[in-house]
Amino acid sequence: MKHVLSLMLVASGAMLGATVAVPSLAADAPPRPKVDAAKGEQLFTNGDAARNIIACASCHGPGGNSPGAANPKLAGQHAEYTYKQLVNFKVKEGAKTPERVNPVMNANVAGLTDEDMRNIAAYLGTQALKPAVARNKDTVELGQRIFRAGIAGKGVPACASCHGPTGTGIPSQYPRVSGQFAEYTEAQLVAFRNGTRHNNVPMAEIAGKMSDAEIKAVADYIAGLR
Protein backbone atom coordinates (compact mmCIF):
# COMPACT_ATOMS: atom_id res chain seq x y z
CA MET A 1 0.00 0.00 0.00
CA LYS A 2 2.85 2.36 0.88
CA HIS A 3 4.50 1.52 -2.42
CA VAL A 4 1.32 2.38 -4.33
CA LEU A 5 0.90 5.61 -2.40
CA SER A 6 4.51 6.51 -3.14
CA LEU A 7 3.96 5.96 -6.87
CA MET A 8 0.82 8.11 -6.76
CA LEU A 9 2.74 10.92 -5.09
CA VAL A 10 5.53 10.70 -7.66
CA ALA A 11 2.99 10.79 -10.49
CA SER A 12 1.25 13.77 -8.90
CA GLY A 13 4.58 15.51 -8.57
CA ALA A 14 5.32 14.87 -12.25
CA MET A 15 1.95 16.29 -13.23
CA LEU A 16 2.52 19.33 -11.06
CA GLY A 17 5.93 19.77 -12.61
CA ALA A 18 4.39 19.65 -16.08
CA THR A 19 1.82 22.22 -15.02
CA VAL A 20 4.46 24.53 -13.63
CA ALA A 21 6.49 24.17 -16.82
CA VAL A 22 3.64 25.39 -19.06
CA PRO A 23 4.26 29.13 -18.52
CA SER A 24 7.87 28.78 -19.71
CA LEU A 25 6.65 27.04 -22.87
CA ALA A 26 4.08 29.77 -23.44
CA ALA A 27 6.78 32.39 -22.99
CA ASP A 28 8.73 30.81 -25.85
CA ALA A 29 5.75 31.03 -28.22
CA PRO A 30 5.78 33.75 -30.92
CA PRO A 31 4.35 37.02 -29.57
CA ARG A 32 0.85 37.94 -30.71
CA PRO A 33 0.81 40.75 -33.27
CA LYS A 34 0.31 44.15 -31.70
CA VAL A 35 -2.74 46.10 -32.74
CA ASP A 36 -3.45 49.80 -32.74
CA ALA A 37 -7.16 50.59 -32.63
CA ALA A 38 -6.44 54.31 -33.12
CA LYS A 39 -4.76 53.59 -36.46
CA GLY A 40 -7.66 51.29 -37.28
CA GLU A 41 -10.10 54.12 -36.61
CA GLN A 42 -8.15 56.44 -38.88
CA LEU A 43 -8.22 53.96 -41.76
CA PHE A 44 -11.83 53.01 -41.21
CA THR A 45 -13.02 56.61 -41.02
CA ASN A 46 -10.79 58.34 -43.56
CA GLY A 47 -9.12 55.68 -45.66
CA ASP A 48 -5.68 56.36 -47.11
CA ALA A 49 -5.67 58.28 -50.39
CA ALA A 50 -1.94 57.72 -50.89
CA ARG A 51 -2.57 53.98 -51.07
CA ASN A 52 -5.91 54.25 -52.85
CA ILE A 53 -7.75 52.87 -49.81
CA ILE A 54 -11.26 54.24 -49.41
CA ALA A 55 -12.88 54.87 -46.03
CA CYS A 56 -14.74 51.81 -44.76
CA ALA A 57 -17.20 54.18 -43.11
CA SER A 58 -18.44 55.31 -46.51
CA CYS A 59 -20.35 52.02 -46.74
CA HIS A 60 -20.43 50.67 -43.20
CA GLY A 61 -21.28 53.91 -41.43
CA PRO A 62 -19.60 55.80 -38.57
CA GLY A 63 -18.12 53.37 -36.07
CA GLY A 64 -19.34 50.43 -38.14
CA ASN A 65 -23.03 51.15 -37.66
CA SER A 66 -24.20 50.79 -41.22
CA PRO A 67 -27.29 52.87 -42.07
CA GLY A 68 -28.68 50.33 -44.54
CA ALA A 69 -29.05 46.59 -44.94
CA ALA A 70 -27.00 46.47 -48.13
CA ASN A 71 -23.90 46.64 -45.92
CA PRO A 72 -23.59 44.79 -42.61
CA LYS A 73 -23.21 46.36 -39.20
CA LEU A 74 -19.64 45.78 -38.01
CA ALA A 75 -19.67 47.61 -34.68
CA GLY A 76 -19.10 45.37 -31.69
CA GLN A 77 -18.03 42.39 -33.78
CA HIS A 78 -15.29 40.18 -32.35
CA ALA A 79 -11.99 41.41 -33.73
CA GLU A 80 -10.85 37.90 -34.58
CA TYR A 81 -13.88 37.32 -36.79
CA THR A 82 -13.63 40.67 -38.58
CA TYR A 83 -9.94 40.06 -39.22
CA LYS A 84 -10.64 36.60 -40.64
CA GLN A 85 -13.25 37.97 -43.05
CA LEU A 86 -10.89 40.69 -44.26
CA VAL A 87 -8.21 38.06 -44.86
CA ASN A 88 -10.72 35.89 -46.72
CA PHE A 89 -11.58 38.82 -49.03
CA LYS A 90 -7.92 39.17 -50.08
CA VAL A 91 -6.46 37.06 -52.86
CA LYS A 92 -3.75 34.90 -51.36
CA GLU A 93 -0.38 34.72 -53.02
CA GLY A 94 -0.50 32.15 -55.79
CA ALA A 95 -4.30 32.00 -55.84
CA LYS A 96 -6.53 33.25 -58.65
CA THR A 97 -9.58 34.07 -56.55
CA PRO A 98 -10.14 34.99 -52.90
CA GLU A 99 -11.69 32.60 -50.44
CA ARG A 100 -14.68 34.93 -50.07
CA VAL A 101 -15.83 36.61 -53.26
CA ASN A 102 -17.36 40.08 -53.17
CA PRO A 103 -16.16 42.42 -55.93
CA VAL A 104 -16.44 45.56 -53.79
CA MET A 105 -14.74 44.11 -50.72
CA ASN A 106 -12.14 42.25 -52.78
CA ALA A 107 -11.10 45.58 -54.31
CA ASN A 108 -11.25 47.50 -51.04
CA VAL A 109 -9.01 45.14 -49.06
CA ALA A 110 -6.46 44.68 -51.83
CA GLY A 111 -4.28 47.52 -50.54
CA LEU A 112 -4.58 46.64 -46.85
CA THR A 113 -1.64 45.11 -45.02
CA ASP A 114 -2.06 42.44 -42.38
CA GLU A 115 -1.41 45.13 -39.76
CA ASP A 116 -4.08 47.35 -41.30
CA MET A 117 -6.66 44.58 -41.12
CA ARG A 118 -5.85 43.76 -37.51
CA ASN A 119 -6.05 47.43 -36.54
CA ILE A 120 -9.41 47.96 -38.25
CA ALA A 121 -10.80 44.81 -36.64
CA ALA A 122 -9.56 45.94 -33.22
CA TYR A 123 -11.19 49.34 -33.65
CA LEU A 124 -14.55 47.91 -34.68
CA GLY A 125 -14.52 45.56 -31.71
CA THR A 126 -14.52 48.58 -29.38
CA GLN A 127 -17.53 50.27 -30.96
CA ALA A 128 -21.04 50.09 -29.54
CA LEU A 129 -23.53 48.40 -31.83
CA LYS A 130 -26.71 50.25 -32.74
CA PRO A 131 -28.80 47.13 -33.37
CA ALA A 132 -31.41 46.48 -36.00
CA VAL A 133 -34.86 45.22 -35.00
CA ALA A 134 -37.11 42.29 -35.87
CA ARG A 135 -39.97 43.34 -38.14
CA ASN A 136 -42.18 40.32 -38.77
CA LYS A 137 -44.30 39.33 -35.78
CA ASP A 138 -45.80 36.45 -37.76
CA THR A 139 -42.50 34.56 -37.92
CA VAL A 140 -41.09 35.29 -34.45
CA GLU A 141 -42.15 31.93 -33.04
CA LEU A 142 -40.56 29.96 -35.88
CA GLY A 143 -37.40 32.04 -35.79
CA GLN A 144 -37.10 31.65 -32.04
CA ARG A 145 -37.58 27.90 -32.27
CA ILE A 146 -34.88 27.51 -34.90
CA PHE A 147 -32.44 29.76 -33.04
CA ARG A 148 -32.95 28.05 -29.70
CA ALA A 149 -33.67 24.45 -30.65
CA GLY A 150 -32.74 24.01 -34.32
CA ILE A 151 -34.75 21.80 -36.67
CA ALA A 152 -34.42 18.24 -35.41
CA GLY A 153 -36.09 16.61 -38.39
CA LYS A 154 -33.53 18.15 -40.75
CA GLY A 155 -30.47 17.85 -38.56
CA VAL A 156 -30.17 21.61 -38.16
CA PRO A 157 -28.56 22.49 -34.80
CA ALA A 158 -29.69 25.37 -32.62
CA CYS A 159 -28.01 28.61 -33.66
CA ALA A 160 -27.63 29.38 -29.96
CA SER A 161 -25.37 26.36 -29.49
CA CYS A 162 -22.56 28.25 -31.25
CA HIS A 163 -23.64 31.90 -31.28
CA GLY A 164 -24.88 31.96 -27.69
CA PRO A 165 -28.36 32.46 -26.21
CA THR A 166 -28.40 36.16 -27.10
CA GLY A 167 -26.44 35.88 -30.34
CA THR A 168 -23.32 37.60 -29.03
CA GLY A 169 -21.05 34.77 -30.16
CA ILE A 170 -17.77 33.61 -28.67
CA PRO A 171 -14.52 35.51 -29.34
CA SER A 172 -12.06 33.66 -31.61
CA GLN A 173 -14.72 31.06 -32.43
CA TYR A 174 -18.15 32.33 -33.45
CA PRO A 175 -19.25 35.80 -34.60
CA ARG A 176 -21.79 38.05 -33.02
CA VAL A 177 -25.03 37.88 -35.02
CA SER A 178 -27.54 39.66 -32.77
CA GLY A 179 -28.77 43.04 -33.96
CA GLN A 180 -27.64 42.47 -37.53
CA PHE A 181 -29.91 43.51 -40.38
CA ALA A 182 -32.30 40.64 -41.12
CA GLU A 183 -31.81 41.16 -44.85
CA TYR A 184 -28.05 40.77 -44.52
CA THR A 185 -28.23 37.64 -42.38
CA GLU A 186 -30.76 36.15 -44.78
CA ALA A 187 -28.55 36.93 -47.77
CA GLN A 188 -25.53 35.27 -46.14
CA LEU A 189 -27.46 32.12 -45.23
CA VAL A 190 -28.72 31.88 -48.80
CA ALA A 191 -25.17 32.43 -50.07
CA PHE A 192 -23.90 29.62 -47.84
CA ARG A 193 -26.70 27.39 -49.08
CA ASN A 194 -26.11 27.97 -52.78
CA GLY A 195 -22.32 27.93 -52.56
CA THR A 196 -21.58 31.51 -53.51
CA ARG A 197 -20.12 31.99 -50.03
CA HIS A 198 -17.88 29.11 -49.08
CA ASN A 199 -15.53 30.26 -46.33
CA ASN A 200 -17.30 28.32 -43.58
CA VAL A 201 -18.06 24.64 -44.21
CA PRO A 202 -20.32 24.05 -41.15
CA MET A 203 -22.50 27.04 -42.06
CA ALA A 204 -22.80 25.85 -45.64
CA GLU A 205 -23.96 22.44 -44.42
CA ILE A 206 -26.46 23.94 -42.00
CA ALA A 207 -27.91 26.48 -44.43
CA GLY A 208 -28.13 23.79 -47.07
CA LYS A 209 -30.83 22.07 -45.03
CA MET A 210 -32.98 25.15 -44.51
CA SER A 211 -35.89 26.44 -46.57
CA ASP A 212 -36.36 30.04 -47.64
CA ALA A 213 -39.08 30.49 -45.02
CA GLU A 214 -36.88 29.08 -42.24
CA ILE A 215 -33.94 31.26 -43.20
CA LYS A 216 -36.09 34.37 -43.37
CA ALA A 217 -37.71 33.66 -40.00
CA VAL A 218 -34.50 33.04 -38.08
CA ALA A 219 -32.77 36.03 -39.72
CA ASP A 220 -35.56 38.34 -38.60
CA TYR A 221 -35.53 36.86 -35.08
CA ILE A 222 -31.75 37.38 -34.85
CA ALA A 223 -32.14 41.05 -35.76
CA GLY A 224 -34.20 41.57 -32.63
CA LEU A 225 -31.93 39.67 -30.23
CA ARG A 226 -30.33 41.64 -27.42
Question: Rounded CA gap, 66 and 105, in Å?
Answer: 15
pLDDT band at 32 (very low <50, low <70, confident <90, very high): confident
Q: pLDDT at position 29, please?
A: 63
Average pLDDT value for residue range 156-171: 98
Fold held by 137-223: Cytochrome Bc1 Complex; Chain D, domain 2 (1.10.760)
What pTM does this model have? 0.86
Question: Rounded CA gap, 107 and 93, in Å?
Answer: 15
Domain ranges of the chain: 37-125, 137-223
Fold held by 37-125: Cytochrome Bc1 Complex; Chain D, domain 2 (1.10.760)
Question: Is 137-223 the same fold as 37-125?
Answer: yes
* Averaged confidence pLDDT in the chain: 90
According to the per-residue pLDDT averaged within each range, which of 10-14, 24-28, 167-171 is highest? Answer: 167-171
Question: Rounded CA gap, 10 and 41, in Å?
Answer: 54
Plot region of 179 (φ>0 → left; ψ -120 to 50 → alpha; else → beta): left
Q: pLDDT at position 181, please?
A: 98
Buried b (16+ CB within 10 A) or exposed e, 90-102: beeeeeeebbbbb
**Greater pLDDT, 21 or 52:** 52
Average pLDDT value for residue range 57-84: 98
Q: Is 48 exposed, middle or buried (0-12, 13-18, 19+ CB in 10 A)?
A: middle
Instruction: Work out the angle at residue 81's Cα, subtended by the Cα atoms of residues 171 and 129, and round it to the nearest 5 degrees.
Output: 80
Question: Rounded CA gap, 92 and 164, in Å?
Answer: 32
